[in-house]
Chain A
């Protein structure tokens, strides 16, 4: 496997022009040569460097998952679908305002608000939905700003550009909310911090979002524009399985689209993603199968344990055990995504030894290649 860091030319050749870009944003933000525009990373000029952070941090260039897992979580990359787990349970915000604005139980927003309040962080990097109902990055310094970023549009947005924009000398204590691919890029940034940018030493809390796939920024937005009055929209929701629908809230009115129709707008690159539960974060949060209004929470690090303990102590979250069946199904779905991704990659490369960007142990590779998978994933 080629592990050499290359430059921007190769990033475009190997990733972006091949439709593999996840829109994580690790290659933009402070680079004058690349820019995000209407759902695509564009090259304004050729930077001519043989090596660049853009290539190095991309979650679709060589990624040694064991190395990342060892350094961030203290253990090798887990063969289990949901990664390394210190604790897993279901939770929801006790604040009804948060619950109504946020997704599922509002746990992510609650944890960010708490972290700001108790001083763990003083800035939170999140994605919010703009007035045009497009996602955009947001660096929230106040509870009000965090509340503004509550909720999801399910469209991919390169939020890591906001990380790259942090001034080198900034001492902000950061919290961040990321999807699994963004978590991989963020992990690569933390492992080999740039010398010319903020080193992320002050990253105090990373919260991952469960993700089966993300919707294509450009194409899905066109779909929405043609089917709903975007000005009236106040929330998007994919209720937990087995609902199998995409809901658009417009005040009192809810317009539902079959999830199978919406799936046509997912990003092609998501088929090659191994991670459903954002394994390289402190805490991962998603929906709960069959239970509306609650989140599944996976705690992965001591930092994660600490903030959950705070939340319990301060009475910010309702916490319950995750039903065994939900956990089993979550693990199956996550493992299914892993195995399907590896098998899709082999289908693309035509070589069982050629896993594109993924560097995993032979054992795990054999296991995942032998796994029976279902074709469609939910969300």
Chain B
């Protein structure tokens, strides 16, 4: 991770997009940052956390996005510039709060919500485009087109937020957030943060209290007035620009990642003299005058954006209102099927769209070349299964869950949730997970399934969640289950980390984002207080875990909880030596014979075990095996042995 608070104004530094945004927040003089981890947004908060003490700012990993934004708003109310970060899934969770803070307005200091979208859902359950929320809820939204803008837009947006008294959104996408580029640094101001909630009773005061959203219609009207003023401001924003000839054959309208792709495409087509690009940095409210003047340059307009046709929609809607004498454009984009409204943009997709509109010949590299390109990494990178790490406790947990459900024999199933254990949809977790939605949904679904006994439903229901997910959104579902007598088993895979997003601490870890000790909030105490039966087991003790699971799923009614507790292997290995020395006795290994038929490498499939087809035996991959010892208990022949390391 880069040192984001390096004190070298004017110098160039190589930052990933998220670090650039964090740097931008420092240059904006933020005093508060809160977030819930989620790819591709996590590094913003974690890089701020590293410098928080030095810079005298407060940084926290909140229990979920809703708390993060409400806590962040309080900081703004009390006079601190406040940053709240989340991925687009989190945006859905905070919509309710957004719908009122646009009415109440913010405090004296700016409030910026950074939302990281994940087009193509590289590490997400969906690829929702966050931008429409700006139009829907009347929230100003900007989007950086490169790394420099990712940094520079932060201070810019705080100024907007404070000048107009509204929350603002900075949207980025994975390719901006996670790619690395050169940033020219600015100055980090020396701010002495002082917080106080001033309570003016005079309605004419700069920030009258109570801060509230009523009378709602009046305040809604007022927000529209603000939006119109901000539109004026955006007309001259340095983040909007037109490049290209005065009378191009085609006008590309783009934003975000589309900006660089569009330049690449125009360059590859050598069409700089035929194509103009309007790059928008301030997407909402739409700088209408700028847009209209650019539309007048060309007949044909092509929208290049990731993922939904947002600009395409709002600009076509805007153009529909032009007077009859105005110039009429031909619009191209998603609605003409020149571009997809799903997945990621690529320069190729942009080229294809342009050549579909203009009669430009483009000879892409032949298919053979593409094959050659694809074969290069294959020479160096092993073909790997999407699976848990060697030594991951989840593999053992799902083994026990699988065995228990099979032994029970009533066709029980797992409702899944969001975390590394999402991979239990596939071979990593022996295909146990049968539903996969958003955070907390597995427990909610289990509530529903578990309530269907009266309609003849007789299958055991097991909701599997992670520890961080438990604190984030499972507790209300468990309360509901106990209160309404739903019949399901909640399994909490407690590996002591928010592992999938990069080991952020959570309320169960006893550590805060700033590295300070915190009270460990006991999940078993919470569950017991709710009234659920709670069993705690070590997933590496397969026998006992299976027995516990059976006992729980055979319980006649009620919500009950199994906590499968074992530290994430990646966390453990930073602190401890390997616990065992694993060995395989080839004499005892049955290989593909009747007896086990490669149970360890065919079903258990820990990457630490490899099948040697020549010898017809299993081997330990000593490079990656973490010597957890679980496979010794899987092998029916006792061919795999674990020897405790003294």
Contacts and interface: CB of A to CB of B under 8 A. Distances in A.
A45 B430 contact: yes
Among B402, B597, B602, B636, chain A packs the most CB atoms within 10 A around the CB of B597
A101 B369 CA distance: 84
B555 to A, nearest CB: 15
Interface centre among B407, B409, B594, B597 (most CB of A within 10 A): B594
Given A30-B636, A32-B634, A32-B636, A42 B407 contact: yes
A37 B590 contact: no
B595 interface: yes
A33 B598 CA distance: 11
B634 A42 contact: no
Contact of B594 (A37, A43, A53): A53
Contacts of B317: none
Given A30-B636, A45-B599, A51 B406 contact: no
Contact of B597 (A30, A42, A49): A49
B403 interface: yes
A34 B403 CA distance: 10
A101 B406 CA distance: 37
A45 B409 contact: no
A44 B406 contact: yes
A30 B402 contact: no
Given A32-B599, A32-B634, A196 B407 contact: no
Q: How large is the interface on B (under 10, 10 to 19, 20 to 34, 35 or more residues)?
A: 10 to 19
A31 interface: yes
Given A42-B407, A43-B406, A196 B594 contact: yes
Given A45-B599, A51-B594, A31 B406 contact: no
B402 A194 contact: no
Contacts of A263: none
Contacts of A53: 594
A141 interface: no
A44 B594 contact: no
Contacts of B634: 32
B603 interface: yes
Given A37-B409, A196-B590, A44 B403 contact: yes
A32 B596 contact: yes
A31 B595 contact: yes
B202 interface: no
Interface-centre pick from A32, A42, A48, A196 (highest chain B CB count, 10 A): A32
Contacts of B603: 45
B602 A48 contact: yes
Interface in B397-418: 402-403, 406-409
Interface in B440-459: none
A21 to B, nearest CB: 13
Interface string B145-158: 00000000000000
Contacts of B596: 31-32, 47
A94 interface: no
Contacts of B597: 47-49
Contacts of A197: 595
A133 interface: no
A40 B408 CA distance: 9
Contacts of B577: none
Interface in A226-267: none
Nearest to B588: A168
B39 to A, nearest CB: 32
A31 B407 contact: no
Contacts of B368: none
Contacts of B402: 44-45
A30 B595 contact: yes
B409 A42 contact: yes
A53 B590 CA distance: 14
B593 interface: yes
A194 B430 CA distance: 29
Nearest to B600: A32
Q: Which 7 A-B pairs have the closest CB atoms?
A: A37-B407, A32-B636, A196-B595, A44-B406, A45-B603, A52-B594, A47-B597
Interface of B: 402-403, 406-409, 430, 590, 593-597, 599, 602-603, 634, 636
Given A37-B408, A195-B593, 17 more contacts: A31-B636, A32-B636, A35-B406, A37-B407, A37-B409, A38-B407, A42-B409, A45-B603, A48-B602, A49-B597, A51-B594, A53-B594, A196-B590, A196-B593, A196-B594, A196-B595, A197-B595
8 contacts: A35-B403, A38-B409, A42-B409, A44-B406, A45-B599, A52-B594, A53-B594, A196-B594
